[in-house]
Structure 1
Amino acid sequence: MFSDERFFDFERMRGRYSEAAFREFVSLLNDVAYTELPLRDASGRRFAYIRVKAGSCAKAARILMTHGGYARPYPFAAMAEEIVSSLALEGIDVSFENVRNILNGSAPSGYCENLAYCMKLALDFISDDANVITERNAEKLLRLLEPPPALESGRTETETPAALREDTSGGNVHGKAGMSENAGKISDFLQALTDFVNSEDDIDELLKAAAIHFFVLHSRPIGSRSGLAARMIHLWVLARMGYHASLAVPLSRSVNAARAEYREAFTLVLRNAGITGILDVTPFLSFFAREVYGKIGPLRETGESAERFAELMKEGKITTKERELWEFVQSYYGAEEFSTKTLERDFRSAAYATVRAFVVKFEQLGLLASVKYTNKSRYRAL
């Protein structure tokens, strides 16, 4: 039974084997296989996972421990993609360009962009190293992500499946009211969250962050927008654990690309708990190890261009304004092409002649590549 390809689906396992064999299987899981987590849901059910079935995150951990040296708190291009993908998982459509502009200081317009702005405020909060994970700070973060009632009243129903939008399995701490009206339950949730985050244990840290993701998603502390909170807290936990590049990698892009598997893993944990009474989060952790952490590749900010730029800085060949422009290009455009006109417009504090001189010089230095079109050139960072 332990090698069955449907190991994670207890409902099918129970149908495939005799009742006695299945009961013995569950008993063995409890006695031998489960590693208990110090979490309970609102119904008192305990959390656990199977270490050998959860997957390996060693490669992703090495990449996320690096730091590209970007001067801004986070690269705009990467985190704009994070916001767009996280909102897409809630059935909310907002353009990448508009979100990136919001991160760069533009005012939001309409319900969807205001949600993106809430996420920008949350990113600003978690990217500040001074904001360690405490109950008070966790509550602040949730309040940044909880849309004001006036904003919520104008929204349309999302396409988010019921399994994620309305978890009725007994773990909900939110109820039908907001955070203030559920202060007691929210307080218990915040204490459990921060105690687990700050506990010393031998759980793989990336898997621990994924378990916290599930805990927030299941607990629904801010109701229908708790998915946004779960994914933001996931990033916060990784950043505070020392995985600095977690704010340079749009993890939600991979989640959104495998959204069916994400929802199935979440639902499977709840279905299994209905049979065993235990929230075995192994399917959810396995999903993240395979489909999210397993998809992380080398960071742009740690490649040959970064080394070349650092050498030029040491040699005094880069001016302060050129450094600012280069950091902006890396953060705002990533691998995307841009023109001198768009760079002048987006950067906002350099004359066109300065921008033009910058792209010419950095192309000669091998840090930018130009792409020739009929009557103009566009550039991209190497």
Structure 2
Amino acid sequence: MDASLFAKMLSDKSIIDLKKLGYKYPQADLKEFVALLGSGLYKPLLLKDFNGKNLVYLDSVAQVQLSAAKVLLTPQSSSQIYGRKAMEDEILSTFSIEQIDTSRDSVRKILSGYAPTSESENRIYGMKKGLEFISDPQHTISEENIHQLYALTIGAFLPQEDQLLPGHKYRHDSVYIVGDKVEHTGLPWQMLPEYMDGLVEFIHQEFAMNDLLKAALIHFYIAYLHPWFDGNGRMARLIHLWYLVQQRYSAALFVPLSEYVEKSRRGYYNAYKLTEQNAQISGVMDVTPFLVYFIENVYHKLVSALPDPNTTETFQNALARGNVTEKEQALWQFVLTAYGESQFSTKQLEKDFGNAAYATIRGFVLKFEKLGLLRSAKYGNRMKYQIAKSV
């Protein structure tokens, strides 16, 4: 292939869509182009496709900005194991992606400690248990713990025909993802123990790959293998978060990653389809399209996901000067984890916090508004507050 043509194709944004690339450069031989990528530009991964060949990616194309990692590494001042508002949104979004009906009121009820009273609330309870499980740093990623996570989160709430056989960690039959046609066939079930063992080994291996990309790759691979009859998407997103927690990304459980996926749901599913479509053309399972999707639609959207650093610094300064009481500190931490960017009223905060008189709540919001940590907005006769983004 002519060097100038190869360079032009290599720098084209359509490089992650071989079919489109072929239309744009009809004079090019795509197989020759892919062979040239394989001679030094594709980076092989220690995971196998269904034919036993290594997955690959283009690290020159899949580049994560440092700001995304900084957001997820930001220490959280809360004493809670996860951000309540983030987990509320995580549960709602992960169900919405899979078109499972639920409501915010039901999620809030279960997160507040109430017992489930319906099938929908049982599923929410399962997700709550799963999020608590991955929040515990003692729960390292292993096949046994993945099985326990699945049983806690999904397996206990499945109809009989979708449940695992006794002694089985994975499905015992074929599975197909069907739209207008069969869009994906999961790995033959007999091969799942070997491939899942390989995935766990890969997770714990030192490998020259950005942590955020590795988390997205793990996410892809779970859905690609489809180890269970149901709940594969939820498990892929949970294990994605779990890996980040294990890598000490302390803010991972204070950011609802699934909310960003839900907002770009079509792109999410298209990234899976594009990866497999490219593989049909090239014979190579290049996961770059899925990694690029996560970079552009999730990781690079996280910059505004947590409180402005200036806001955090202002609070720390007020605390150091002795201007914040112990109760006010607890209320501030609750507001950060329970509401995030959302607005709240004093009555709502009194009800949700449950351990402070209304006069204390009222004094807190007025004081923290004066400090510049909260800002208010009037709606008729009602006032609502939210965390200030900058001070």
Query: What is the TM-score with the length of structure 1 in the denominator?
Result: 0.85
- Are 1:172 and 2:172 matched, yes or no? no
Contact 2:78 2:334 in 1 (8 A): no
1:293-351 deviation line (CA, Å, top 9, x unaligned) = 11111453453332222223333333332222221111111222222222222112233
Corresponding residue number in structure 1 for 2:168: none
CA separation of 1:88 and 1:29: change in aligned 2, threshold 3 A: same
Shift of 1:90: 0.5
Does structure 1 retain, via aligned residues, the 8 Å contact 2:255–2:306?
no
The equivalent residue for 2:207 is 201
1:364/1:5 CA distance change after superposition, 3 Å? closer
Opposite residue 29 of structure 1, the aligned amino acid is L
- Which residue of 35, 40, 43 corresponds with 2:43? 35
Q: Is the 8 A contact 1:55 1:290 kept in 2?
A: no
Q: Does 1:78 align with 2:86?
A: yes
- CA distance in 2 between partners of 1:77 and 1:151 (Å): 30
SS at match of 1:33: coil
Distance 1:19 1:111 in 2: 57
Tell me which residue corresponds to 1:226. 232
Name the counterpart of 1:99: 107
- Structure with more contact order per residue of length (Cα contacts < 8 Å, sep ≥ 6): 1
Separation in structure 2 between the aligned mates of residue 25 and residue 367 of structure 1, nearest angstrom: 55
2:68–2:300 Cα contact (<8 Å) kept: yes
Distance 1:269 1:362, change over 3 A: same
Of the three residues 208, 216, 219, the one matched with 2:222 is: 216
| Aligned-pair CA distance for 1:19 | 9.7
1:291 aligns with 297
Q: C-alpha displacement at 1:240, in angstroms?
A: 1.6
Quote the Cα distance in structure 2 between the aligned partners of 1:127 and 1:301. 21
What is the deviation of 1:210?
0.9
Measured in 2, the distance between the counterparts of 1:298 and 1:201 equals 30
Instruction: Work out the CA distance in 2 between the residues paired with 1:374 and 1:20.
Output: 65
2:211 and 2:181 map into 1 onto residues whose CA distance is 27
Partner residue, 2:320: 314
Counterparts of 1:13-24 in structure 2, within 5 Å, are 13=21, 21-24=29-32
Q: Give 1:218 shift.
A: 0.8
Q: Could you say what secondary structure the match of 1:6 adopts?
A: helix
Q: Which secondary structure state, in structure 1, belongs to the residue aligned with residue 331 of structure 2?
A: helix
SS at match of 1:38: strand
Alignment of 1:1-382 (within 5 A): 1-13=9-21, 21-148=29-156, 162=178, 168-169=184-185, 171-172=186-187, 185-301=191-307, 303-382=309-388
Distance 1:242 1:344, change over 3 A: same
- Inter-partner Cα distance in structure 2 for 1:302 and 1:31: 45
Unaligned residue ranges in structure 2 (runs of 5+): 1-8, 163-175
Normalising to structure 2: TM-score of the pair?
0.83
Report the Cα distance in structure 1 between the residues aligned to 2:384 and 2:26, rounded to whole angstroms.
66
SS at match of 2:61: helix
Residue 230 of structure 1, CA deviation: 0.8
Whole-Å separation in 1 of the counterparts to 2:225 and 2:308: 37
Distance (whole Å) between structure 2 residues aligned to residue 141 and residue 284 of structure 1: 24
Note the C-alpha offset of 1:213. Answer: 0.8
Q: Which amino acid aligns with 1:226?
A: N
1:226, distance to aligned residue in structure 2 (A): 0.6
Deviates more, 1:21-30 or 1:222-231: 21-30
How many aligned residue pairs are there?
Answer: 367
Identify the range of structure 1 (197-206 vs 333-342) with the bigger mean alpha-carbon deviation: 333-342
**Structure 2 vs 1, CA of residues 149 and 344 (structure 1 numbering), >3 Å: closer, same or farther?**
closer
Deviations 1:345-368 (A, max 9, x none): 211223333333333433344333
Give the aligned residue type for 1:168.
Answer: H
Q: SS of the residue aligned with 2:361?
A: helix
Q: Say if 1:358 and 1:6 are closer, same or farther in 2 by CA, change over 3 A.
A: closer
Distance 1:185 1:316, change over 3 A: farther
Tell me if the contact between 1:78 and 1:249 (Cα under 8 Å) persists in the aligned partners.
Answer: yes
Change in 2 beyond 3 A, CA 1:269/1:373? closer
Q: After TM superposition, give the deviation of residue 6 of structure 1 in Å.
A: 3.2
Letter in 1 for 2:118: G
Deviations 1:230-286 (A, max 9, x none): 111111112222222122222222211111111111111112222333211011111
The answer to whether the Cα contact below 8 Å between 2:192 and 2:225 also exists between their aligned partners in 1 is no
Task: Give percent identity, aligned residues only.
Answer: 38
Q: State the Cα RMSD in Å.
A: 2.9
Instruction: Output the CA distance in 1 between the equivalents of 2:314 and 2:240.
Output: 33
In the TM superposition, what is the alpha-carbon distance from 1:27 to its structure 2 partner?
1.6
Amino acid at match of 1:76: R
Q: Which runs of 5+ in 1 are unaligned?
A: 155-159, 176-183
Q: Which stretch shifts more, 54-63 or 280-289? A: 54-63
Structure 2 distance, partners of 1:257, 1:165, is 25
